[in-house]
Amino acid sequence: MQISLLKERKQSLIQNAVTRGLDPDAPMRDSGIEWIGEIPQHWGISHNRTLFTERVEPGKESLPLLTVSIRSGVSAGELSEGENLRGRVKIEDQTKYSLVQPGDIVYNMMRAWQGAIGAVTTTGMVSPAYTVAIPDSRIRPKFFEYLYRTPLFIHQMDRHSKGITDFRKRLYWQEFKQMLTLLPPLDEQDRIVQHIDQESTRIDRAISLFQRQIERLKEYRATLIDSAVTGKIRVPGVEDPARQEALA
């Protein structure tokens, strides 16, 4: 229960910060977009076509293969063969894979509707199933990642994805360009990212502590059960078989 509450608190923290800012007293205005609602008066809204250009460059054999996780965004380095297709990449045409640079935004076309999008932190290459976008100077990549991994903006990606069923949906570049992004001033984006990073770290530590406590309780329970069934400890109301035999 506590872990679930902490995860909900973290999600709420992020969504409030990237859609309403950090100042609860900031004047608000109607965004004119029903699903977005009110935003701080001094924030802008822009279509992605004015913020991003597509990167279309082939990968290189020496670069690590990165991936995008629904839970944690873009990986920070090479993954093991058990986690990706690195073994296959070694024998495939590297030009089929796409170059990515720090600061790029990458999303999985087939899983964007589930939130598979994130900011790149290291030079690498990604699957041809991914789209690579280069942001301009008005948007911080990490702010954009936090914004687009909220339920509100994941739903926007879902609406713009094409396909008759969930598993056939694709978010193509032309549709990505039509989507909307909130634009606080750059210094405010930096403060929002810093705030989210700090608070998320605190919440993640609390979650980790609860998880360790749960694991210890599970271990203690297993040890207690083993000791009870093997007669290492006496259980009230249960006679010791050895004592019963001695009294017989």
34-88 residue pLDDT tens: 999 999 999 999 999 999 999 999 988 889 999 998 887 888 765 544 554 444 4
Q: For the CA atoms of the chain, what is the radius of gyration? A: 25
Q: Is residue 10 part of a domain?
A: no
Give the rounded distance of the alpha carbon of 31 from its chain centre.
26
> Do residues 163 and 240 share a domain?
no
Q: Check the CA dihedral 112-5-141-184 and report its sign.
A: positive
Over residues 138-158, mean pLDDT? 96
Residue 245, pLDDT > 90, answer no
At residue 105, φ and ψ (nearest 5 deg) are -110, 130
Q: Give the end of a domain, one of 183, 198, 219.
A: 183
Q: Is residue 39 part of a domain?
A: no
Over residues 155-161, mean pLDDT? 96
Q: Is residue 73 part of a domain?
A: yes
Whole-structure pTM value: 0.80
Q: How far apart are CA 67 and CA 126, in angstroms?
A: 6
At residue 82, φ and ψ (nearest 5 deg) are -70, -20
Give the pLDDT band (50/70/90) at residue 91.
Answer: very low
Over residues 211-224, mean pLDDT? 73
Indicate the number of domains in the chain: 2
Residue 19 contacts residue 36 (beta carbons within 8 Å): yes
Q: Where are the beta strands (DSSP E) in 68-207?
A: 68-69, 73-74, 98-100, 105-108, 117-119, 124-126, 130-135, 180-183
Q: Is residue 201 part of a domain?
A: no
> Do residues 80 and 173 share a domain?
yes
Give the pLDDT band (50/70/90) at residue 97.
Answer: very high
Residue 121, pLDDT > 70, answer yes
Structure-token pair, residue 183: 């634009």
> Do residues 108 and 160 share a domain?
yes
> Do residues 59 and 173 share a domain?
yes
Q: Is residue 131 part of a domain?
A: yes
Q: Is residue 172 part of a domain?
A: yes
What is the CATH number for 148?
A: 3.90.220.20
Predicted pLDDT of residue 220: 66
> Do residues 70 and 151 share a domain?
yes
- Three-class SS state of 73: strand
Domain of residue 224, residue span: 209-247
> Do residues 229 and 136 share a domain?
no
> Do residues 124 and 243 share a domain?
no
> Do residues 66 and 165 share a domain?
yes
Q: Is residue 28 part of a domain?
A: no
Residue 185 contacts residue 23 (beta carbons within 8 Å): no
Q: Is residue 174 part of a domain?
A: yes
Q: How far apart are CA 150 and CA 172, in angstroms?
A: 20
> Do residues 173 and 105 share a domain?
yes
Q: Give the end of a domain, one of 183, 201, 225.
A: 183
